[in-house]
């Protein structure tokens, strides 16, 4: 990890009026959460994406929930906690440096680390939403009832509960997408962290930010936004983000 580049990123972030961050699977895998895609991704190797399509939920909500419990166990192993990258972003937000985090992840680890302004493009697997009344609540009770055979779990109003995530066949939440694009447009410095930047529309946010601001890419592998970035850090996110935060605080 190049200390000069870390210092350069810290200066960009420190001097910016608005700082936005986009996080992808690489931030979560550092906590032990498997990725959905890629060489070791669970789609195709362990689970069929079509089992988690909106059509399947509508047709067979009980069967969907049975498979969803297995998916949750695979995606959220016991003992998973926020890592140093999550904590560094929360620290920078509390210091008034980072304005908001846009995440492609659904694990809620940014909030667990202390981040308050999190834009969840794909929802949050730790919540459920009622299909009838729209009420959102913690998912743990619904998962417990489903595991006990109460399939599908339902709301107090009688409506079927759905994991509060974007299923295959669903559009991204309009407000979250609007807020993410607005943040990218307003950011003087924008960090794309731990994302392969292959899935749109999230993958288009760095290009939007680079039009009028400074783009920083932090990822172990090449991304399609590298040629637009002012700085590219080929580094582990759990090393790079704490180092950037430390430099910001030193100044």
How many independent structural domains does the chain possess? Answer: 2
Residue 104 confidence (pLDDT) above 80: yes
- Asked whether residue 128 is assigned to any structural domain, the reply reads no
Contact 98, 21 (CB under 8 A): yes
19 is in an annotated binding site: no
Closest CA to 97 of 115, 113, 122, 112: 115
Mean pLDDT of the 140-168 span: 97
Nearest to 204 by CA among 234, 178, 184: 184
Q: Is residue 210 part of a domain?
A: yes
Indicate whether 196 belongs to any domain: yes
5 CB-side CA count, 13 A: 14
42 annotated binding-site participant:
no
Predicted pLDDT of residue 79: 82
Q: Is 130 labelled a binding residue?
A: yes
* Within a domain: 131: no
Residue written as token pair 């309009």: 174
Cα–Cα distance, 145 to 147 (Å, whole number): 5
Query: Is residue 56's pLDDT more than 70?
Result: yes
Sheet (strand 161-165) strand order: 136-138, 123-130, 161-165
Q: Is 15 contained in some domain?
A: yes
What range does the domain containing 217 cover? 1-33+82-122+170-251
Residue 1 banded pLDDT, cuts 50, 70, 90: confident
Is 127 a domain residue?
no
Instruction: Decide which of 165, 200, 221 is a domain's last residue.
Output: 165
- In percent, the amount of the chain with pLDDT more than 90 equals 89
Is there a single domain that holds both residue 46 and residue 29?
A: no
> Annotation-wise, does 157 bind a ligand?
yes
* The pLDDT of residue 192: 98
Instruction: Identify the active-site residue in 72, 86, 122, 249.
Output: 122
* pLDDT tens figures, 170-223: 999 999 999 999 999 999 999 999 999 998 899 999 999 999 999 999 999 999
CA dist 151 and 147 (Å) reads: 8
The pTM of the full predicted model, rounded to 2 decimals, is 0.94
3-class secondary-structure state, position 219 = coil
Both 251 and 175 in one domain: the answer is yes
Residues 213 and 244 in one domain: yes
Give me the sign of the Cα torsion angle 80, 81, 85, 86.
positive
Residue 93 CA to residue 110 CA, distance in Å, equals 11
Residue 78 pLDDT greater than 90, yes or no: no
Is the distance from CB of 124 to CB of 96 less than 8 angstroms?
no
Asked whether residue 57 is assigned to any structural domain, the reply reads yes
Residue 245: pLDDT band with limits 50, 70, 90: very high
**Cβ atoms 222, 198 nearer than 8 A:** no
Residue 39 in this model has a pLDDT that exceeds 80: no
- Whether residue 37 is predicted with pLDDT greater than 90 in this model: the reply is no
Residues 94 and 28 in one domain: yes
Q: How confident is the model at residue 84 (pLDDT cuts 50, 70, 90)?
A: very high
Whether residues 189 and 92 fall in one domain: yes
92 and 63 together in one domain: no
Query: Are 106 and 8 in the same domain?
Result: yes
State the Cα–Cα distance between residues 200 and 144, nearest whole angstrom.
34
User: Based on the domain organization, do 115 and 224 belong to the same domain?
Assistant: yes
- In a shared domain, residues 23 and 101: yes
Distances (CA, A) of 47 to 35, 74, 159, 211, 250: 12, 10, 27, 39, 46
Asked if 103 and 189 sit in the same domain, the reply is yes
* All residues at 6 or more sequence positions from 144 whose CB lies less than 8 Å from its CB, including other chains: none
How far apart, in whole angstroms, are the C-alpha atoms of residue 167 and residue 192? 24
Asked if residue 63 and residue 40 are part of one domain, the reply reads: yes
Mean pLDDT, rounded, of the chain: 95
- Can you give the CATH number for the domain in which 213 is found? 3.40.50.1220
Q: Does residue 249 carry a catalytic annotation?
A: no
pLDDT at 21 exceeding the cut of 70: yes
Portion of the chain with pLDDT greater than 70, in percent:
98
Give dist(CA 50, CA 66) in Å, integer. 14
Give dist(CA 13, CA 15) in Å, integer: 6
44 band by pLDDT with thresholds 50, 70 and 90: low
pLDDT of residue 38: 64
Show which of 150, 165, 180 is a domain's final residue: 165
Query: Per-residue pLDDT for 77 more than 80?
Result: no
Q: Are residues 207 and 238 in the same domain?
A: yes
Residue-level pLDDT at 185: 98
Q: Does position 19 have pLDDT exceeding 90, yes or no?
A: yes
Higher pLDDT, 217 or 35: 217
């Amino acid at each position: 990890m190049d200390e000069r580049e870390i210092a350069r990123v810290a200066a960009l972030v420190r001097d910016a009026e608005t700082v936005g961050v986009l996080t992808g699977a690489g931030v979560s895998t550092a906590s032990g959460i498997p990725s959905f895609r890629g060489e070791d991704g669970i789609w195709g190797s362990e689970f069929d994406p079509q089992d988690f399509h909106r059509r399947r939920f509508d047709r067979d909500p009980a069967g969907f929930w049975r498979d969803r419990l297995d998916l949750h166990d695979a995606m959220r192993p016991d003992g998973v906690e926020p890592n140093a990258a999550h904590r560094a972003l929360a620290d920078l937000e509390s210091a008034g440096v980072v304005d908001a985090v846009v995440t492609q992840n659904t694990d809620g680890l940014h909030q667990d680390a202390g981040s308050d302004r999190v834009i969840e493009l794909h929802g949050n697997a730790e919540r459920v939403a009622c299909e009838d009344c729209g009420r959102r609540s913690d998912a743990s009770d619904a998962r417990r009832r489903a595991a006990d055979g109460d399939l599908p779990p339902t709301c107090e109003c009688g409506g079927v509960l759905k994991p509060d995530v974007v299923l295959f066949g669903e559009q991204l939440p309009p407000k979250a997408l609007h807020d993410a694009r607005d943040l990218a447009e307003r950011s003087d410095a924008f960090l794309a962290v731990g994302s392969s930047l292959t899935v749109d529309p999230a993958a288009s946010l760095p290009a939007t930010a680079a039009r009028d601001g400074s783009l920083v890419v932090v990822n172990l592998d090449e991304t399609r936004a590298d040629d637009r970035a002012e700085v590219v850090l080929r580094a582990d996110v759990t090393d790079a983000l704490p180092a950037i935060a430390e430099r910001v605080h030193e100044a």
